Amino acid sequence: MIQASRTAGRKHRHRHHTPMVLRWLSAALQVLGWAIIVALPISVIWLCVSSVIAKNEAQAVVQQASTISDAAATGDSAALRQQVDELADHIDAVWAQTSQPIWWAVEQLPYVGQDVGTVRQVVDALHDVSVGALPHVSQALGKVSIQDISIADGTISVPGLADAADDLSQAATVVTRADADMQRIGETHYNQINTMLDQAKDQFDAVSGALDALARLAKIMPSMLDMDSAGGGQRTYVVIAQNNAELRATGGIPGSVGLLHVSNGKISLDDFVSDSEFDVLDSSILPLTAEEKVLFSGRMGRWIQDVTFTPDFSRTGEFTKAMWERQFGGTIDGVISVDPVLLQNMLAVTGAVTVSDGQYTVTLDGTNTAQILLSQVYRDLPVERQDAFFSLAASEAFATIMHGDGHDPVALAKAFIESARNGHFYVWSAHEDEEQVLESTTVGGTLAQDSSNPVAGLFFNDSAGSKMGWYLKRDVVFAFEKQLSDGRRQYVMDVTLTNTLDPSQVDSVPDYVLGMNVDGTERGDIGEMMYVYAPAGGRLLEWQFDDGSDFDMVTLHDGLTLGAKTIKLKPGESMHFVVRFLSSSDAADTPMQLRQTPAAQE
């Protein structure tokens, strides 16, 4: 069954992950219990009793998982630890039934045996988590108090995180292995159960990814924030505030750039400076690969505005570090990327901030920050005052987030995780050991090179010198289609791009927003270079543009196949295309993910 997920242009709706697996198990046990009774009237008594016990325990697991979600929302670590332990007990009770010989015997029967086997595989995966992961999660919760996590007076406090890192890592390893087992489970004869199973697989995979990311961050966060004695002392990071109005692959141009200092978890932030404070160099500050020159031009290495041309944030980090050290001196430990959507999501938790340059005053909050910074300011301020205002807004928003007291740490964490998941936050570390941990996480933003964990890509770079990214609407559907006989999986990406600027409103938009009319674009046009990446070890299988056109070129970037195409959309115009991807056989049943340039509006 195809499970489609719409990305960009709208917020994802997230359900509690684990309960879906458990609700599927409870429903499956109930349906199969009746099917077995009909099929085996003679030997049914023992199996019936076992089925009823298993079903009741599965229902208890569902209820327990909901209780865990409630405890997590309140930040009560002690209650959460107790609920995790009780969840493990109920899962073990289900497994104690389905692991009995009678269940194996029924699994050997035609028709119903396949469905019993599916149930047993799901229970086995959950049991592996119960035995191998939940005890470590419980131990981690005993070392970290969620209620004591805080951001106050510029200090990030996560007591016990370093002590919990090993437990989280061991739990993540087990859950990753169990997730792989879940993804290999086949269908039953019941459509309703199959639908729930597909959803359970997706959500189990999401839990696995989240736990892995948490384990990795627990390993490096103490040193990156100088929260432990082994951290090596104060850290200094460059913060680039990406402006999604002028699109770049990882968000937008770095319109404002600041310096962040961390000492013993306490953060201080220097005033942001405009990108105009950086020299435009005659040649690249670092060597560019031949592929980077073809795809992104030499500009990527010559000006701070263009370091985000590449979808590989590790390269953005390297070039940003070099440019800052050349321009301002010092030694940079890493680079952090944020954008107005991240600030908006965080301000929704912390409360609004008023920004004023003495003549122009706005209030940024959890509903309007992106609209004001990516659109409204261009209408309200002359060009010569815009850069200074953007720098001021970035500084004031960060100060509100970092220096407020009494903010809900759980709500802040949720807002941050949601933003990072959608590409609005990236981190690169100049310390090799830390970067090795970051590079396979969402916040690392690197090009995925692991063929067993397939990731496709859809990225955009403004080619018209405009601020029209605010008006570009993306409607993207990414879905699994089928699995080939050799194990490779086929996915389809269906994309509609629309220039939402009303043709009658073109003359009311400032010329600075409309752009320089380069590369054949006219007033109000959106001009973009688009890049569609195949997953590592996979391929772009086929593609079709409704207007009959083709990619401008199909080439390689760091070993990944990609198609590049120039996009031009007049006001009110849309274009539609479909691309099919094929994963590597190494990926087996691991779902393919789609990473894309973060949207300006969500």
Bridge partners, residue 427, by sequence: 336
Same domain as 388, residue 241: yes
Residue 429 lies in a domain: no
**Residue in this structure with the two tokens 């879940």, named with its chain if needed:** 182
**Per-residue confidence band for 32, with pLDDT thresholds at 50, 70 and 90:** low
Please determine, for residue 202, whether its predicted confidence score (pLDDT) is greater than 50: yes
Domain count, the chain: 3
Please determine, for residue 446, whether its predicted confidence score (pLDDT) is greater than 80: yes
Same domain as 452, residue 405: no
The CATH number assigned to the domain holding 563 equals: 2.60.40
**Per-residue confidence band for 221, with pLDDT thresholds at 50, 70 and 90:** confident
Cα three-residue angle 281-284-286, rounded to 5 degrees? 130
When mean pLDDT is compared across 35-49, 51-65, 176-190, the lowest value belongs to: 35-49
pLDDT confidence of residue 229: 54
Query: For residues 173 and 137, is the Cβ–Cβ distance under 8 A?
Result: no
**Domain residue limits at 528:** 447-596
Please determine, for residue 548, whether its predicted confidence score (pLDDT) is greater than 80: yes
Listed residue (471, 472, 461, 477) closest to 530, CA to CA: 461
**Per-residue confidence band for 149, with pLDDT thresholds at 50, 70 and 90:** confident
Between 90 and 10, residue with greater pLDDT: 90
* Mean pLDDT value across the chain: 86
The CATH number assigned to the domain holding 320 equals: 3.40.630
Same domain as 401, residue 270: yes
Q: How far is it, in rounded angstroms, from Cα 442 to Cα 216?
A: 11
- Helix ranges (DSSP H) in 12-111: 17-39, 44-74, 77-98, 101-107
- Looking only at Cα atoms, what is the longest distance across the chain? 87
**Per-residue confidence band for 16, with pLDDT thresholds at 50, 70 and 90:** very low
Each residue's pLDDT tens digit, 492-506 = 999 999 999 999 999
Residue 496 lies in a domain: yes
Each residue's pLDDT tens digit, 289-346 = 999 999 999 999 999 999 999 999 999 999 999 999 999 999 999 999 999 999 999 9
Please determine, for residue 201, whether its predicted confidence score (pLDDT) is greater than 60: yes
pLDDT confidence of residue 98: 81
Question: If you ran DSSP here, which 8-state letter would residue 186 be given?
Answer: -
Amino acid at 10: R
Residue 602 lies in a domain: no
Q: How far is it, in rounded angstroms, from Cα 255 to Cα 35?
A: 63
**Residue in this structure with the two tokens 């209408």, named with its chain if needed:** 379
**Per-residue confidence band for 55, with pLDDT thresholds at 50, 70 and 90:** low
Residue 540 lies in a domain: yes
Same domain as 586, residue 519: yes
**Per-residue confidence band for 188, with pLDDT thresholds at 50, 70 and 90:** confident
**Per-residue confidence band for 68, with pLDDT thresholds at 50, 70 and 90:** low
Query: For residues 228 and 163, is the Cβ–Cβ distance under 8 A?
Result: no
Q: How far is it, in rounded angstroms, from Cα 63 to Cα 50?
A: 20
**Residue in this structure with the two tokens 């990305």, named with its chain if needed:** 7
pLDDT confidence of residue 74: 64
Domain end among 229, 259, 281: 229
Same domain as 467, residue 332: no
Same domain as 144, residue 72: yes
Residue 437 lies in a domain: no
Q: How far is it, in rounded angstroms, from Cα 200 to Cα 62?
A: 13
Rounded to two decimals, what is the model's pTM?
0.84
Bridge partners, residue 545, by sequence: 577
Query: For residues 602 and 9, is the Cβ–Cβ distance under 8 A?
Result: yes
Average pLDDT over residues 42-52: 53
Same domain as 470, residue 351: no
Share of the chain above pLDDT 70, in %: 86
Those residues with Cβ within 8 angstroms of residue 63's Cβ, 6 or more apart along the chain or in another chain: none
Helix (H) / strand (E) element for 172: namely helix 161-183
Same domain as 239, residue 220: no
Same domain as 244, residue 208: no
Q: How far is it, in rounded angstroms, from Cα 455 to Cα 446?
A: 11
Each residue's pLDDT tens digit, 347-377 = 999 999 999 999 999 999 999 999 999 999 9
Q: How far is CA 568 from CA 137, 411, 413, 460, 526, in A?
A: 50, 40, 38, 12, 6
Burial of 76 from C-beta contacts in 10 A (0-12 / 13-18 / 19+): middle
